Structure 1
Amino acid sequence: MTNTSTALVTGANKGIGKQIARLLAEEGFRVYASARDPQRGAEAVAGIPGDVRFVQLDVTDPASVAAAAKEVGELDVLVNNAGILVGGANPAEAAVDDFRRTYETNVFGVLAVTNAFLPALRRSACPRIVNISSGTGSMTQSAAEAFAATGGSGAAYRSSKTALNAITLFYAQALPGFRVNALAPGLRRTDLNERAQQADGDPAEAAAGAVRLALLGDDGPTGGFFSWDGRTVPW
């Protein structure tokens, strides 16, 4: 990366996304920190030192995505962090609309944003894409006894992250000059749900893992799923 490298972080007005924006700015990036709400986004950017700029971006709104791509222009690193958790039921009890809303942000939103910014990323000498996933999206871990005991709860969110892992791999296969990876940030103190609100995990610790993937050299891995501490997570 160069001193003029540019990064975009979606959902960067709070939590892990805000910390990723902060750490990238510390690395000398020009950072576009995006959020749906202009006021919250501008307030977040004002509190981050460095060349950090707010860009309004609703990953579920095609017009908003297109406008953001036009405004940002050049890009070296894309961090798809925006995500939601809607409902916590198992699939036998969940509302279908909970799945639709979750996938709209966590899966289709990533597709929309990534594809909109691909022309800019292709112009970069070292394009990097980091998708913020979840360890709960690991099919291997979900089949393990500890997860199986949950009875399939949180199925909309967990399966959306499984799908995100799959498209991460497929993007890596489709974009051989890129480094495209997914991160399992661990349970962090965010407002994702009540459990996360009470967690002890520091969002900055997870953000550091995302930034490591954003700074990978050309010999670094691609198409991988990694924990915040660098360990490989099973699909």
Structure 2
Amino acid sequence: MPPFPAPVKEWHNDTYASIDPSRPELSAKGKKIVITGGGYGIGRGTAIAFAEAGAAGIAILGRKEAPLQETKEFIENKHNIPVSTHVADVTDESAIKKAAKEIGEWHVLDMNAGYFAAPAETMEISADEWWKPFEINIKGSFITAQAFLPNRGKDATLIGVSTGAVNLPAAMLIRTSSYASSKYGLLKVMEILAAEFPDVHVVTIHPGVVETNMLEKSEMAEQLPIDTPELPAHFAVWISSPEAAFVRGKFVSCNWDVDELKKAAKKITETDSLFTTSLVYSPELLA
């Protein structure tokens, strides 16, 4: 039984065969991959996963050079795939535009960089600190998309990273209102980008609950089922493949079993209100 609201019966906390990046169907051969927040945690794992999938090259962005360089050396030594590093904060428009120019054409852009404000109730947090997740999670993603989209290659994939918290009751989110609200807002931004750029496979994912600095900061680690870093990393490879074409413009969790999702592909594609922010109304609701 899934621990959180889910449309599937099987819930994963670890990677599994269907999203294994070594599957020929998920090959990233010939693709240039770009990952923000690529030096740490999930971003680092995702870079490694795309290397395992045979990417032609990987570009990783982050605020600190050291972790980017470590990730670069690890991938190049193990997989013999070129990795470029770009020190840039996603809220720094000029730095992101510079990185986009240096990187050039790309095929997968994973906007992984994010921020979690310290847990606090409304009267315990400053307005500036409460607003910071919006600056990074929404504005930073917009800046990144705006800078990189002009250089997209054929059949490009744009991945937004949200959170499963958007599905939880408000009463459970009182101390994390800024993070949850910013990530919900990102869902709408990504849906609109999907409508505006019909040639791009735009999708938003929940990357699971992985032991990272952000999770530690959330003070929720002991209350949540922990996922392996490989789960969201391998899921990102799958979501960028032709197998996942049916979730374009949607929000999906890395915990959801992809084989169950594929069986419902037609319904997911044809139902606008499924896995989106759509608020569906009809007179029957109040009958």
TM-score (norm 2): 0.73
Aligned residue type for 1:187: V
Question: Structure 1: which amino acid aligns with 2:242?
Answer: L
For structure 1, list consecutive stretches of 5 or more residues without a partner in the other structure. Answer: none
Pairwise CA distance, 1:188: 1.0
Q: 1:224 to 1:100 in 2, by over 3 A?
A: same
Distance in 1 (CA, whole Å) between partners of 2:113 and 2:87 is 13
Q: Provide the residue aligned with 1:125 in structure 2.
A: 154
Distance 1:44 1:130 in 2: 20
- Specify which of 23, 36, 39 is matched with residue 66 of structure 2: 39
Alignment partner of 1:210: what SS? helix
Q: Are residue 186 (structure 1) and residue 208 (structure 2) matched?
A: yes
Compute the displacement of 1:37 (Å): 0.8
**Which amino acid in structure 2 is aligned with residue 58 of structure 1?**
D
**Counterpart AA for 2:161:** I
**Counterpart AA for 2:71:** A
Kindly state the Cα deviation for residue 3 of structure 1 after the two structures are TM-superposed: 3.0
- Runs of 5+ consecutive residues of structure 2 not aligned to the other structure: 1-26, 262-273, 278-287
Question: How far apart are the structure 1 equivalents of 2:42 and 2:208?
Answer: 11
Query: Cα distance, 1:79 vs. partner?
Result: 0.2
223-232 or 174-183: which moved more?
223-232
Residue pair 1:34, 1:41 contacting (<8 A) in 2 also: yes
Superposed CA deviations along residues 91-145 of structure 1, whole A, max 9, x for unmatched, are 3543211132211111100000111001111xx1101001111001x2xx233xx
- Displacement after TM superposition at 1:5 (Å): 1.2
* 8 Å CA contact retained: 1:126, 1:218: no
Between the two structures, name the one with larger relative contact order (CA 8 Å, sep ≥ 6).
2
Rounded Cα–Cα distance in structure 1 between residues aligned with 2:70 and 2:151? 27
Alpha-carbon distance in structure 1 between the residues aligned to 2:111 and 2:150: 16
Q: Structure 1 151/68 Cα, relative in aligned 2: closer, same or farther at 3 Å?
A: closer
Question: Is 1:152 aligned to residue 152 of structure 2?
Answer: no
- Structure 1 residues 57-136: aligned runs within 5 Å: 57-121=88-152, 124-136=153-165
Mapped to 1, the partners of 2:237 and 2:98 lie a distance apart of 25
Task: Please report the RMSD computed on the Cα atoms of aligned residues, expressed in angstroms.
Answer: 2.1
Task: Determine helix, strand or coil for the equivalent of 2:54.
Answer: coil
CA distance in 2 between partners of 1:181 and 1:102 (Å): 20
Verify the 8 A CA contact 1:90 1:151 in the aligned structure 2.
Answer: no
Q: Would you say the 8 A contact 1:227–1:233 is kept in 2?
A: no
Contact 1:87–1:156 (CA under 8 A) maintained in structure 2: no
Cα drift, residue 40 of structure 1 = 2.1
Q: Secondary structure at the match of 2:115?
A: coil
1:1-40 to 2 correspondences below 5 Å = 3-29=29-55, 30-40=57-67
Matched residue, 2:186 = 164
- What one-letter code is carried by the residue in structure 2 that aligns with 1:8? V
**Counterpart amino acid of 1:211?**
V
Whether contact under 8 Å (2:187, 2:276) holds in the other structure is: no
- TM normalised by structure 1 equals 0.88
Q: What is aligned with 1:210?
A: 236
Percent of paired sites with the same residue? 27
Counterpart position of 1:175: 197
Q: What is the distance in 2 between the residues matched to 1:96 and 1:142?
A: 23
Aligned residues: 226
Bigger Rg, which one: 2
Aligned partner of 2:285 in structure 1 is none
Q: In structure 1, how many angstroms separate the alpha carbons of the residues matched to 2:150 and 2:183?
A: 25
Q: Deviation at 1:176?
A: 0.8
Alpha-carbon distance in structure 1 between the residues aligned to 2:182 and 2:226: 24
Shift of 1:42: 0.7
Q: CA–CA distance in 2 between the matches of 1:37 and 1:55?
A: 9
